[in-house]
Amino acid sequence: MRILALLPLALLANPAAAQDRPDPARLKATVEKLVSFGTRHTLSDPDHPTRGIGAARRWFGGELAKIGTACGGCIETSEVARAFKGPRAPNGVRIVDVLGIQRGSEPNRVVIVMGHIDSRVTDVMNATADAPGANDDASGVALVLEAARILSKHKFKATIVYAALSGEEQGLYGGQLLAETAKERGWTVSAVLNNDIVGNTIGQDGRRVADRVRVFSEGARDSETLAEAKSRRADGGEDDGPSRALAKAIRGVAAADAKGLKVLMVRRPDRFGRGGDHSPFLALGYPAVRFSVGVENYDAQHQDLRTESGKVYGDTVDRMDFPYLAKVTALNIATLRRLASAPAAPTPVVIGGALATDTSVKWPAVPGAAKYRVYWRAADADAWSRHVDVPGSQTETALKGVIVDDSFVGVSAIAADGAESLVSFGGRAAPR
């Protein structure tokens, strides 16, 4: 009672904070709207005015455009499209990703937040049956739209790309299309946040998990060459690839913001034996993670809507938890805000100090860095435990008394307002 009575006062005291808070009711309205298109199957009729993936994409693009208008044109809405053909699209299909691009002061450096707009039922080729896809993945698309609404009120260094992808269920086509678009356009990708199934708290066994979100990340990079793999093997760094550094940063954001959500930092690119739209980004060497709920309910994924021996199947809105989705959205927003405000991560970080009692550290200058933070930790630990700050004019330092054999080292770049990049792991100079 008392807390409730105090709440409006707290909001009055800080109206900016209130408008920056994801709204469970608005997230629910978005999910319900997406469900109302009947099916959003990738092979459904793209031209039908009210049913199918085309209608859903046009609606999403229209919502992004409204947000763009409300911020004086700060978000440009566009589409990228290409024909794909494969076992789950044997006759070929035009894959369309809908993008909202909020240009930063470093327009070519991007952070991407995305979900997939397509849905499916039991038979992955069934493009006509109702496939609500409320949690998989209207939840992710609603999160993207809510992030755009909130972050469009602010200005950033990096460009933010808000994306609704198609063709995930047919073969991760939309992820591939956007990853290849990033490469073609020469974007420097600072982070990719893929949100897929982020809105339920009741698991298959009835257990409720509302205080945890899983963040999946690769340690060793999918894109490593054999020479890079060999040098990583020699230097360590299995737990410090760029995607793992992103996952650790998200874990840190969650811990600092204390929004009632802990990160289970899964040391795998995705769930066991399964993949997602961040996978094509990893293949091209971009730092990317997948967010997913703390506990899954398989009766509510990829299922025909039905009841069998009293058991209800289907991915419907009533099985979701919107205050939980709002928490996952807040964590995404806090992460985007930090990484879009920060300079790029300094890379490569080169260390030395074999047969010496100090460790030397060098890195390239990063535009917009007010200072650099040089971290180290004992070589048996998971998280950075010590750091020293170095002025932005300097791009090397020596860590006195830090023995390189027993320590791991990394460097981040920090903006004047304190926003910090990902930490780049230190190793030997790349072989020429």
Q: State which amino acid sits at residue 140.
A: G
Confirm or reject binding of residue 196 to Zn ion (CB under 5 A): yes
Q: What's the min distance (Å) between Cβ of 94 and Zn ion?
A: 20
- Is the CB of 106 or the CB of 315 nearer to Zn ion? 315
Q: Which two three-digit tokens encode residue 10?
A: 């707290």
- Is the CB of 137 or the CB of 296 nearer to Zn ion? 137
CB count within 10 Å of CB 66 equals 13
Distance CA 258, CA 151 (A): 20
- Is the CB of 240 or the CB of 270 nearer to Zn ion? 270
- Is the CB of 120 or the CB of 248 nearer to Zn ion? 120
Q: What's the min distance (Å) between Cβ of 252 and Zn ion?
A: 26
3-state secondary structure of 62: helix
- Is the CB of 43 or the CB of 342 nearer to Zn ion? 43
Confirm or reject binding of residue 118 to Zn ion (CB under 5 A): no
- DSSP assignments along 210-254, one per residue: -SEEEEE--SS-TT--HHHHHHHHHH--TT-SHHHHHHHHHHHHH
Distance CA 424, CA 426 (A): 6
Candidates 137, 270, 277, 321: give the one binding Zn ion (CB under 5 A): 137
Q: State which amino acid sits at residue 394.
A: Q
Candidates 63, 118, 136, 296: give the one binding Zn ion (CB under 5 A): 136
Confirm or reject binding of residue 315 to Zn ion (CB under 5 A): no
Q: Which two three-digit tokens encode residue 5?
A: 């009575």
Choices 129-137, 281-289, 332-340, 382-390 (CB under 5 A): range interacting with Zn ion: 129-137
Q: What angle do CA 17, 22, 28 make, to 5 degrees?
A: 155
Q: What's the min distance (Å) between Cβ of 294 and Zn ion?
A: 16
- Is the CB of 136 or the CB of 270 nearer to Zn ion? 136
Q: Determine the length of the chain.
A: 432
User: Contact at 8 Å (CB) between 329 and 147?
Assistant: yes
User: Contact at 8 Å (CB) between 283 and 192?
Assistant: no
Q: Per CB under 5 A, which of residues 219..278 are in contact with Zn ion?
A: none
**ω before 137 within 30° of 0 (cis)?**
yes
Q: Which two three-digit tokens encode residue 63?
A: 């919502």
Q: State which amino acid sits at residue 316.
A: T
- Is the CB of 240 or the CB of 296 nearer to Zn ion? 296
Choices 30-38, 192-200, 349-357, 392-400 (CB under 5 A): range interacting with Zn ion: 192-200
Choices 78-86, 172-180, 193-201, 228-236 (CB under 5 A): range interacting with Zn ion: 193-201
- Is the CB of 44 or the CB of 421 nearer to Zn ion? 44
Q: What's the min distance (Å) between Cβ of 22 and Zn ion?
A: 20
Element (H, E) at 111: strand 106-116
By CB under 5 A, the count of residues binding Zn ion is 3
User: Contact at 8 Å (CB) between 175 and 47?
Assistant: no
Choices 30-38, 133-141, 145-153, 253-261 (CB under 5 A): range interacting with Zn ion: 133-141
Q: What's the min distance (Å) between Cβ of 139 and Zn ion?
A: 9
Instruction: Please count the CA atoms within 13 angstroms of the CA of 314 that sit on its side-chain side.
Output: 17
- Is the CB of 313 or the CB of 372 nearer to Zn ion? 313
Q: What's the min distance (Å) between Cβ of 115 and Zn ion?
A: 8
Q: Which two three-digit tokens encode residue 9?
A: 């006062």
Q: State which amino acid sits at residue 25.
A: A
- DSSP assignments along 123-147, one per residue: STT--SS-B--IIIIIHHHHHHHHH
User: Contact at 8 Å (CB) between 64 and 146?
Assistant: no
Choices 18-26, 128-136, 147-155, 217-225 (CB under 5 A): range interacting with Zn ion: 128-136
Q: Which two three-digit tokens encode residue 66?
A: 């409204």
- Is the CB of 33 or the CB of 271 nearer to Zn ion? 271
Distance CA 221, CA 210 (A): 31
Choices 188-196, 302-310, 315-323, 424-432 (CB under 5 A): range interacting with Zn ion: 188-196
x/- mask, Zn ion, residues 139-178, rule CB under 5 A, reads: ----------------------------------------
Choices 68-76, 78-86, 130-138, 159-167 (CB under 5 A): range interacting with Zn ion: 130-138
Q: Which residues bind Zn ion (CB under 5 A)?
A: 136-137, 196
